[in-house]
Amino acid sequence: MKKDRKTIASQVSEALQFIRAKIKARPKIAIVLGSGLGDVADTLSEPDPIDTSAIPSFPRSTVESHHGRLVFGRLGNVSICALQGRVHYYETGELEPVLYPVRILHALGIKTLIITNAAGGINRFFKPADLMLITDQINLTFENPLRAIQVSIQHQQLYDPNLQEIIDQVGKEKDIPLHRGIYCGLQGPSYETAAEIEMIRRLGGDAVGMSTVNEVSLASSLGMRVAGISCITNLSTGISDQKLSHGEVTEVARAAKQSFGELLRGIIQNIG
């Protein structure tokens, strides 16, 4: 059931009041942690978690490894908020549950948003456990995340160029190999066929997944600076003959968590 602007604003206001009553921190940076990448939130110092199931109107993730917590804490000496898990479009068949967490982060005063995901590699130079800095995106969910808002910022790059430079530099300083590429988002939940992967490759996609694109479009339109990082957890159908499973995705993401966590810590220190 689609919600109008007034209903969404009322729900966000109620959720904000609930969170503010529990959390004293006022971070300006947030991280959305994708499949298999949620362990980063467990490394925060001075953690102050809230189960998202307790937040009014907050959607519940049904996917394994998406724990459903909003964790306030410090990464190094920088105060941040980490969203441990997300809701995908295919879980509800509706766009608003995907966007609601971004609305909450914006209401909390977040200025910089780092969105991460587990993705299938399309670029033939990629291999499992590689990290990819997202430079742009292709939205094949066929949804418009800006339908219910007054768009104030237009004609800008979705992924902030200055943040990309910072992330590139951190990768070089820490000797963490970092690809650059375009992320393609689909509705899911099925993995793509070889023909679909070839189509996305011809469109310019380097990695593919079932999240991120609508979240980024909304966050950017709300004035947040956005950066995106994909963990390449598998090679897509047609690129590899191996059968795909969510278990494989989360296992590879966890294998990459050390370099991923080190990269995030460096990024946060540089922009914090």
Q: How far is 101 from 98, CA to CA, in rounded Å?
A: 7
The 3-state DSSP class for residue 184 equals strand
Q: Is 45 a catalytic residue?
A: no
Instruction: Read off the tokens for 13.
Output: 């206001």
| Residue 1 annotated to the active site | no
| Residue of 139, 234, 236, 259 with catalytic role | 234
Q: Is 210 assigned a catalytic role?
A: yes
The residue annotated as part of the active site, out of 15, 30, 82, 118, is 118
Q: Which of 41, 91, 119, 143 is catalytic?
A: 91
- Mention every residue, 6+ apart, whose C-beta is less than 8 A from residue 21: none
From 35, 123, 214, 259, active-site residue: 35
Q: Which residue among the candidates 88, 119, 214, 221 is catalytic per the annotation?
A: 88
Reply yes or no on whether 90 is catalytic: yes
Pick the catalytic residue from 57, 117, 123, 211.
Answer: 211
Contact 2, 45 (CB under 8 A): no
Active-site position among 9, 10, 79, 90: 90
Whether 211 is catalytic is yes
Cα torsion 204, 182, 216, 92 to 10°: value is: 70
Active site residue 240: no
The verdict on whether 234 is a catalytic residue reads yes
Residue of 66, 67, 106, 179 marked catalytic: 66
**How many other β-carbons are positioned within 10 Å of the β-carbon of residue 141?**
21
Q: Which of 87, 118, 92 is nearest to 102 (CA)?
A: 87
**Does residue 67 carry a catalytic annotation?**
no
Q: Find all residues with CB under 8 Å of 188, minimum gap 6, and list them.
A: 88, 89, 90, 210
**Which residues belong to the active site?**
35, 66, 88, 90-91, 118, 210-211, 234, 246
